[in-house]
């Protein structure tokens, strides 16, 4: 399987993540990519190629222009205001003050465009997010041109990024940008299956009222897990999109037997939809030793995940999302791709 990868993903090395009331070294670190690419090489998974630039238009086909302007200038404004640390949101529009105006002050703007406080915005955030989207789009080009599958080794991840919000380590929604691009290139129907431990809130938000992109997500029950405020089973889409969003919230401690049953349910819905392209939001934070998650998948289970996805018989674009057990992330991610290919 072709792999799209760039060493420039290393340029995003954030210093801080607000976690448990402390500023810790971020879970979403550059070494994640090092372990995956090393394992892909060792396993001789396939050719490794550099991403091509795709510009900003595919991003603006999904995200709000004001949000993208914010991302591109936020660090400059944050520094100009004399703040010492990385930019962390600390106030939000909430139920009793719904945010009808976009503040002028960067602290207010940060809260307006953030969905969570764990994602520090830094000098390299926007550039890194653009690179990550280019990795996804280059891999997509390959799938569209050749009809076979590819792996986009994206970093930072994307599935939490909504139309006009960043958070959950995500700035640009890579799978959404890729799905829209496939439609703009002539596809009629694209399915996005999100197997990251966390609900793909951004992807759901972006396509919620549409029936040309089927979105499905298997994830930790939002009653107990990030992002808490979206990802419930009753969220099935709206308007023309009714029935085209499917959530499978699963309890803490879910093992592979239970998880795989829900994967099969998702696959039935995908087959019924008859997409021309399948995009997998590939998080491996479902792993038993993931430091921020609570499912119980084992390394060998990921081979079977890939095998089951392959049974759909669709051109498939794998896009890297989460996974924070850094030393095992390579084994787990590559196992999915190996299981798919064999
Ligand atoms: C792409 C992706 O996987 N993003 C995940 C973002 C999760 N951020 C908040 C995590 C909070 C976890 N708190 C639980 C700590 C358990 N020790
Ligand atoms: Zn995740």
Q: State the closest ligand 1 atom to the C-alpha of 167, by its place in the atom list counted from 1.
A: 6
**ipTM score of complex:** 0.96
Exposed/middle/buried for residue 194 (C-beta within 10 Å: 0-12, 13-18, 19+): buried
Task: Name the residue with the closest Cα to ligand 1, atom 17.
Answer: 292
* pLDDT score of 192: 99
* pLDDT score of 153: 98
What is the DSSP track for 196-212?
A: SSS--HHHHHHHTT-SS
Cα gap 89→284, rounded to integer Å:
27
Q: Would 92 be classed as within a structural domain? A: no
Task: Name the residue with the closest Cα to ligand 1, atom 7.
Answer: 168
Cα gap 234→243, rounded to integer Å:
10
Q: Which of 176, 199, 226 to mutate to test the pocket of ligand 1 (most atoms within 8 A of CB)?
A: 226
Q: Is the shortest distance between the CB of 210 and ligand 1 below 6 Å?
A: no
Q: Would 337 be classed as within a structural domain? A: yes
Query: Residue 269: phi, psi to the nearest 5?
Result: -65, -40
> Which domain does 311 fall in, by range?
2-63+124-341
Q: Which of 230, 292, 295, 324 to mutate to test the pocket of ligand 1 (most atoms within 8 A of CB)?
A: 292
Task: Name the residue with the closest Cα to ligand 1, atom 3.
Answer: 322
Q: Which of 250, 124, 262 is nearest to 198 (CA)?
A: 250
Task: Name the residue with the closest Cα to ligand 1, atom 5.
Answer: 168
Q: Which of 33, 114, 167, 198 to mutate to test the pocket of ligand 1 (most atoms within 8 A of CB)?
A: 198
Structural domain count of the chain: 1
Q: What is the mean pLDDT of each run of 10 residues along the chain (342 residues)?
A: 98 95 98 98 98 98 98 98 98 96 98 98 98 98 97 98 98 99 98 99 99 99 98 98 99 98 99 98 98 98 99 98 98 98 92
- Centroid of ligand 2 to alpha carbon of 105 (angstroms): 31
* pLDDT score of 149: 98
Q: Is the shortest distance between the CB of 227 and ligand 1 below 6 Å?
A: no
Could you give the strand order of the β-sheet that contains 245-250, starting from the edge strand earlier in sequence?
Answer: 48-49, 2-4, 150-152, 316-320, 277-282, 190-194, 213-220, 245-250
Ligand at shortest distance from the CA of 157: 1
Around 211, how many Cα atoms within 13 Å sit in the side-chain half-sphere? 7
Q: Would 235 be classed as within a structural domain? A: yes
Q: Would 79 be classed as within a structural domain? A: no
Q: Would 106 be classed as within a structural domain? A: no
- Find the CATH number of the domain harbouring 128: 3.40.800.20
Cα gap 266→301, rounded to integer Å:
17
pTM given for the model: 0.98
Residues with a known catalytic role: 160
User: For the chain, where are the alpha helices, taking DSSP H only?
Assistant: 31-42, 57-60, 65-80, 106-113, 125-146, 174-184, 201-207, 256-273, 301-310, 326-341
Q: Which of 241, 198, 192, 245 is nearest to 219 (CA)?
A: 198
- Centroid of ligand 2 to alpha carbon of 82 (angstroms): 33
Task: Name the residue with the closest Cα to ligand 1, atom 14.
Answer: 292
- Centroid of ligand 1 to alpha carbon of 2 (angstroms): 29
- Centroid of ligand 2 to alpha carbon of 106 (angstroms): 28
Q: Would 313 be classed as within a structural domain? A: yes
Q: Is the shortest distance between the CB of 283 and ligand 1 below 6 Å?
A: yes
Q: Would 271 be classed as within a structural domain? A: yes
């Amino acid at each position: 399987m072709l792999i799209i990868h760039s060493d420039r993903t290393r340029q995003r090395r954030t210093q801080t993540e607000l976690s448990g009331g402390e500023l810790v070294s971020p879970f979403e670190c550059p070494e994640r990519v090092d372990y995956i690419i090393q394992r892909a090489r060792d396993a001789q998974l396939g050719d490794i190629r550099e991403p091509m630039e795709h510009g900003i238009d595919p991003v603006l086909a999904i995200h709000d222009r004001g949000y993208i302007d914010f991302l591109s200038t936020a660090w400059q404004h944050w520094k100009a205001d004399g703040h010492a640390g990385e930019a962390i949101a600390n106030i939000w529009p909430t139920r009793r003050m719904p945010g009808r105006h976009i503040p002028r002050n960067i602290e207010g703007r940060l809260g307006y465009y953030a969905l969570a406080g764990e994602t520090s915005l830094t000098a390299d955030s926007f550039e890194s997010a653009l690179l990550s989207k280019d990795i996804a789009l280059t891999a997509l080009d390959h799938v569209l041109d050749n009809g076979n599958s590819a792996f986009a080794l994206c970093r930072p991840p994307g599935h939490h990024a909504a139309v006009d919000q960043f958070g959950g380590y995500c700035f640009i929604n890579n799978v959404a940008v890729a799905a829209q691009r496939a439609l703009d290139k002539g596809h009629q129907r694209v399915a996005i299956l999100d197997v990251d431990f966390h609900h793909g809130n951004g992807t759901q938000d972006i396509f919620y009222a549409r029936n040309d992109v089927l979105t499905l997500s298997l994830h930790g029950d939002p009653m107990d897990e990030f992002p808490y405020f979206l990802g419930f089973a009753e969220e099935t889409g709206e308007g023309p999109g009714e029935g085209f969003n499917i959530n499978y919230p699963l309890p803490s401690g879910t093992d592979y037997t239970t998880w795989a049953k829900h994967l099969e349910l998702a696959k039935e819905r995908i087959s019924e939809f008859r997409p021309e392209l399948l995009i997998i939001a590939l998080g491996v934070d479902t792993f038993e030793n993931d430091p921020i998650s609570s499912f119980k998948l084992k390394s060998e289970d990921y081979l079977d995940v890939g095998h089951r996805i392959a049974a759909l018989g669709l051109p498939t674009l794998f896009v890297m999302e989460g996974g924070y057990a850094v030393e095992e992330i390579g084994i787990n991610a590559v196992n999915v791709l190996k299981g798919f290919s064999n």
